[in-house]
Chains A and B, each alone.
Chain A
Amino acid sequence: MADTPFVEVIDAKKEYVIGKNSLQVFENLNFSAPDGSFTALMGPSGSGKTTLLHSIGGLELLTSGSVRAGEHEIANASESSLSEWRARTIGFIFQFYNLMPMLTTYANIELPLQLTSLGRSERKRRVKAAAELVGISHRLRHRPREMSGGEQQRVAIARSIVTDPPLLLCDEPTGDLDRATSAEVLDVLQKLSRGLGKTIIVVTHDPEAANYADRVFNLNKGQLELARGDK
């Protein structure tokens, strides 16, 4: 694991304004994730873990502060350049898998490759390699509703890595899975971090899931504290 921060959040403030009321999620928050690290973000519900994760991925914009991931500064980016950067740099994994219900496993994994200029044979090779890596090759022709939660999450992981992005953002990836399946999914994530050098940030409630990470942060009442590992 290199010490260079791949992700850097500086003086972040996030506030939701609903009508005349405002809700401050966090303020003066600083966070970094070194290149190739496996980081877990823990904290009670509503503490802002997912908001922070989505801000890193450019799905939400901070009220103030800056986010940098790789060479990209998110705060001032246009929608189109943010989309392009996201396609190139980030793989998202969600609690509820978020697969396209109308597509087969193969087509779901291939979906992000639509945004690349890769030829058909190269796409096929990448889809098969990603499916192989997460152990879902036998389900390529099935649709999400025909698979278990664990299998769907494996498909989601394969989809997130098929473009070979350096950063994986995982929002409660095991939140909807049983203990044994959770362990299998987390093994895959750990393999991606240690074997392929992916920078991984996982939001989780589950201490056992956090045990797979090299670094664990706690976010509570707007304060982010390092619970384990190197800052």
Chain B
Amino acid sequence: MSGMRLILSNIRYAWLRNALLVLSILIAYLLFGALSAFERAYSTSGDTGAGRIITANKISFTQPMPISHFRTMQSVGGVDASSHATWFGGYYREPANRLHTIAVEPHSYLAVYGSDLELSEEEKSSFLSGQGSVLVGAQMAARFGWQVGDQLPIINQQIMRTDGANTWIFTIAGIVSGTAAYVDTSFLYIHYDLLNEARTSDKDTIGWIVTKPASGIDAGALAGDIDRVFATSPDRTTTDSERSFAQTFVAQFGDLALVTMLILAAAFLSLLMIVASTTALAIQQRVREIGILKALGFSHKRVLVLLMGESLIVTLIAGTLGLVLAGYFVRVSANSLVSIAPGISVSAEIAAIGVVSMIVLAIVASAVPAWRAVNATTSTVLRRG
């Protein structure tokens, strides 16, 4: 019988207590893995590496800007390409099927984002040729089972049409895939001109302008130049990186990073208390066994190793299972999270932090009760019936 077998026998003997402890730790590490993956993916969301910058209304990106801003911007030096986009939204068949629909100026938009999108020449010319043509991201197409050539009735009750209708009929010109993991393909691109002509209000306004700096131009300096151009305009602007813009967009639903961190902290604090109290209770219930081991000649050090080893094994098994499950859930839900947490995964770094925290947790939770039990008076314990 080796020390490891003795530890495993102990774990098996108190199987119910250990099963519940494993479950608690597993859930905590499931949360840790999933939330850490989310927090990291979310923090780097919009970080495309393309160096693009976004100009929006200084009051809020939800406030429109005059389209003249886009024309004015063409005169700003250091711009390689720029385009504009406007939120359309709407839903397909029923309100639950809300769509991420953006009205874009097709030629310039594809010039700015072309490198992110996988699109055949045929689909591209089909999209550019007709105002009713739309491009659909692969994820959205897969979600609703849409095909190229399908007619899409999109209902939008926020934007009033001049003809009084609230249904917009589009034709799918192409289904677009992303060329990189960060590209969200749960979108629908429609023609801006169609929207602008058909709507009754906010005519000749746009949502935001996206700019690709020319080679060798510092994006931060260019952003400053753009905002200075509109500094005296009634519609002042704020220009920032795509990443900041994407996070501002998501932040309208709340500070997700903060919420994530708070949940993580709460989960870990609860976990530490559960593991510490369960371990303390378990060790306290075993003072007689500890006394027997000491009477047989087991040294304090050896008994400490056995007790802390048991805590370590239970925590490592449960925590690793939790991380594996987190990896599975993250993989399964990666597609639906791509818009706010692109490229989400339980990385090797998260796993390493998890394992180190398991070791620390096991040691912290068991060290004090184990030390106290080992130093308890053996003689008194062994006299009890």
Contacts and interface: CB of A to CB of B under 8 A. Distances in A.
A50 B6 CA distance: 29
B289 interface: yes
Interface residues of A, number: 35
A57 B13 CA distance: 30
B300 interface: yes
A43 B378 CA distance: 22
B143 interface: no
Give the size category of B's interface with A.
20 to 34
Contact of A112 (B297, B302, B382): B297
Interface in B1-33: 1-3, 5-6, 9-10, 12-14
Interface string A43-72: 000000011001001011000000000000
Given A80-B301, A103-B9, A114-B2, A54 B296 contact: no
Contacts of B383: 50, 171
A111 B1 contact: yes
Nearest to B291: A98
Contacts of B300: 79-80, 83
A2 interface: no
A159 B10 CA distance: 19
A50 B295 CA distance: 14
B382 A94 contact: yes
A92 interface: yes
A89 to B, nearest CB: 9
A87 interface: yes
B295 A59 contact: yes
B292 interface: yes
A176 B384 CA distance: 12
A95 B385 contact: yes
Nearest to B5: A107
Contact of B385 (A86, A88, A96): A96
Contact of A115 (B296, B378, B385): B296
Given A102-B12, A103-B9, A92 B295 contact: yes
B1 A114 contact: yes
A98 B377 contact: no
B288 interface: yes
Contacts of A147: none
Chain A binding surface SS class: helix
B299 interface: yes
A84 interface: yes
A100 interface: yes
A108 B209 CA distance: 77
Contact of A80 (B288, B299, B384): B299
A86 B294 CA distance: 9
A110 interface: yes
B249 interface: no
A60 B295 CA distance: 11
B277 interface: no
A114 B13 CA distance: 20
A92 B378 CA distance: 13
Contacts of B295: 57, 59, 86, 92, 98
Nearest to A60: B379
Interface string B72-116: 000000000000000000000000000000000000000000000
Interface string A89-122: 0101011101111110001001111110000000
A102 B294 contact: no
B297 A86 contact: yes
A106 B112 CA distance: 76
B382 A51 contact: no
B104 to A, nearest CB: 69
A191 B163 CA distance: 111
Contact of A83 (B6, B294, B384): B294
B379 A112 contact: no
Most buried by A among B296, B299, B301: B296
A59 B382 contact: yes
B379 A115 contact: no
A102 B9 contact: yes
A45 B377 CA distance: 20
Please provide the 7 A-B residue pairs with the shortest distance between their CB atoms, ordered closest to farther: A87-B297, A102-B13, A83-B299, A86-B297, A54-B379, A60-B379, A59-B379
6 contacts: A57-B295, A100-B9, A100-B292, A101-B13, A102-B12, A110-B1
Given A59-B295, A86-B297, A115-B302, 7 more contacts: A54-B379, A57-B295, A83-B300, A84-B299, A86-B295, A98-B288, A100-B292
